[in-house]
Amino acid sequence: MNCLKKTEDNQTYSKKVHPVETKPTGELKAPDGGWGWFIVLASALTHAIIGGQERSGGILYLELLRKFNKSSTETAWVTSLSGALRLLCGPLASFLGSRFSLRKVSFVGGIFLSLGFLLGSFSDTLMWFFFAYSFLGGFGKSLSYTSCLVAVGRYFDKRRGLAVGLATAGVGIGMFIFPPLMEWLFETYGFFGGILLMSGISLNLCVFSMLYRPLHQNRLTVKTSWETPSPQVDQEHVELLPATTKANECETEDSNTKNNQLPKTVFSPAPVTLGVTPERPNRVSIAHSINYEPITSRNNGCLPSLKRFLLGNNKAENKQPLFDCTLLKDLHFALFLFSICLQTLAFQSVSIFIPPLAKQKGVNKMNAAFLISILGITDIISRIGISSVLDLKYIKPYRRYCYTLICFLNSLLIFLYPLAFEYSEFIAITAAYGFMSGAFISQKSVIIVDLLGAEKLSSSFGWTNCFQGLGALIGPPLEGKLKDIFVLYDYTFYFSSAVIFAGASLLLASNIIYYYRLKQASATTKEDS
């Protein structure tokens, strides 16, 4: 290999690429934009698939009742366990994301979800579909769902509310698309074809996961310049193409190339386009986010890469406990967890039983499915609109109080469902409920950060998913049992309304305690001053 040289007036010039990694002294700072918007896009699409499939649980519930002819309680366990595992496995998914990277964990989650649908399409019994869809699919959804939200939380700080709102707005898109889509798939291709096509759709989660770039990769800045070598060389800079007039060095380099060997330390950068500024034509600076790692040999094969993929990064900074029990000592966070558990118990059931309730009231099958689409439209508007409003400077300090009010309004709207008889009444209630429930879900992770801080988001979000999973596991079968006892779906909605009211009351108690403690702290500060 020839050496790159340019001789002019007995001076040797060389092209130097100086990788300068900006390692922060503490935790990595969230960029609040940049590549983070691509992560928001990937997260929104992930929410569209996972949320759309779960919110179409009522359509799947009716299809399973028709195919297997089991009781409402047994059938409700299928959708219940799938949603519950997505949440119960939250701490495990958070731990794996920190151990292996969010990108890898989300990719594997897409494969598990697709495999669950694939095996479920061949089921002849409800128990086999229960194992395939609920266990395999539920675990896969947990891996992808947790990874996408944690990734957004890491990339945004000041605009976290807006970013999370945009990311979770994908659920509204999924709710608009998937219920009529699943209804059409079952009518056109039958149970086997419809479930098989859902397996193919789920593989898109693997594509979206490729956008979850680790945050530390954005900290690398590469400066490239043409300059005259100075007698004083910074030892931290690495010369990629050393310029020299000694023939023996060039010969050594050529001999290494012939023997398929590289020099002791060679850096292999990605192609970079250089642009010369008119002010300083002899210097150019560029920045990108590619990691530069020394390559000692090109003949190592793929085994080391496979080993790193399987074992992950062993740095101590990536190690964290699977369950950080110290978080439960925080009174406000503990009350928040119990509140979320109760509200999810009811919330999971409502989205499943809206189509059956409408059908019981005389609404035809397709219009009943379209109610979930209406729920999705207003959900999108709410997640973006409410998130933007609650991020405003003068409203942000009162965000936790607004969140509590939203929970009480959800309880009221669910209570009104059994009182509706006309399709127009169902549309009005569903639109209002979609607006409030979208705000409830989208601000969940934001409230967690307000309570504990962004540095504990991964562990705290895992705990939140775990308590949500308990509610999602109990809710649908319990309310299915109420339907089997009372025949009508009305009592399931009355029960859900009461449970959400109880959960909102726990948040209200937490807010009262927080307000008085804040008031006492303010009074103490004034006395000291």
Q: What is the DSSP string of 442-470?
A: HTHHHHHHHHH-GGGHHHHHHHHHHHHHH
Given a cut of 80, whether residue 357 has pLDDT beyond it is yes
Helix, strand or coil for residue 295? strand
Whether 193 is in a domain gets the answer yes
55 domain-assigned: yes
pLDDT band with cut points at 50, 70 and 90 for residue 263 = very low
Residue 326 is predicted with a pLDDT of: 80
| pLDDT for position 410 | 93
Domain boundary (215, 233, 263) is at: 215
Residue 33 phi/psi, 5-degree rounding, is 150, -150
Is pLDDT of 309 > 90? no
Sheet holding 283-285, edge to edge: 6-8, 11-21, 220-227, 283-285
CATH code, domain with 511: 1.20.1250.20
- CA–CA distance, 158 with 499 (Å, rounded to integer): 34
Residue after which a domain boundary falls, among 191, 215, 239? 215
Confidence class for position 415, pLDDT limits 50, 70, 90: very high
Distance, in Å, from the CA atom of 525 to the CA atom of 349, rounded to the nearest integer, reads 47
Range of the domain at 132: 31-215
Of 89-93, 270-274, 372-376, highest mean pLDDT? 372-376
List Cβ<8 Å contacts ≥24 apart for 308-316: 309/100, 309/104, 312/99, 312/100, 312/101, 312/104, 313/99, 313/100, 313/101
Closest CA relative to residue 458, chosen from 153, 207, 172, 238 = 153
DSSP 8-state code for residue 275 = -
Q: How many domains does the chain have?
A: 2
Would you say residue 500 lies in a domain? yes
- Strand partners for 225: 16, 283
What band does 45 get if pLDDT is binned at 50, 70 and 90?
very high
- Report the distance separating Cα 97 and Cα 318, nearest Å: 9
272 within some domain: no
- What is the C-alpha to C-alpha distance for residues 418 and 529, in angstroms, rounded to an integer? 57
Would you say 401 and 480 are in contact if contact means Cβ atoms under 8 Å apart?
A: no
Question: Average model confidence (pLDDT) for the chain?
Answer: 75
The torsion angles phi and psi of 14, rounded to 5 degrees, stand at: -140, 150
Enclosing H/E stretch for 17: strand 11-21
* Whether residue 188 is found in the same domain as residue 330: no
CA distance linking residue 244 with residue 14, whole number of Å: 9
Contact predicate 143/212, CB 8 Å: no
pLDDT for 396 equals 83
Note the pTM of the prediction, 2 decimals.
Answer: 0.61
Q: What is the predicted pLDDT for the residue at 27?
A: 54
pLDDT of 289 higher than 70: no
User: Does a structural domain hold residue 422?
Assistant: yes
Query: Mean of the pLDDT values across residues 428-455?
Result: 83
Distance, CA of 266 to CA of 19 (rounded, Å):
13
Q: Are residues 205 and 339 in the same domain?
A: no
Q: Dihedrals φ, ψ of 236, to 5°?
A: -80, -15
Q: How far is CA 340 from the centre of its chain?
A: 18
Report the distance separating Cα 215 and Cα 206, nearest Å. 19
What's CA 433's distance to the chain center, in Å?
Answer: 24
Verify that 346 and 495 share a domain, yes or no: yes
Which of 182, 215, 248 is at the close of a domain?
A: 215
Q: Is the pLDDT of residue 266 over 50?
A: no
Q: Which of 428, 417, 440, 436 is nearest to 495 (CA)?
A: 417
Residue 266 lies in a domain: no
Tell me whether residue 26 is in a domain: no
Q: CA end-to-end span of the chain, whole Å?
A: 73
pLDDT for res 397: 83
For the cut 70, the answer to whether the pLDDT of residue 262 exceeds it is no
Instruction: Give the whole-angstrom CA distance, residue 162 versus residue 158.
Output: 9
In a domain, 231, yes or no: no
pLDDT band at 105, cuts 50/70/90? very high
Residue 402 has pLDDT above 80, yes or no: yes
Kindly state the average pLDDT of the residues 494-506.
Answer: 93
CB count in 10 Å sphere of residue 522: 10
Max CA separation in the chain (angstroms): 98
**pLDDT above 60: residue 358:** yes
Note whether 171 and 52 are same-domain residues: yes
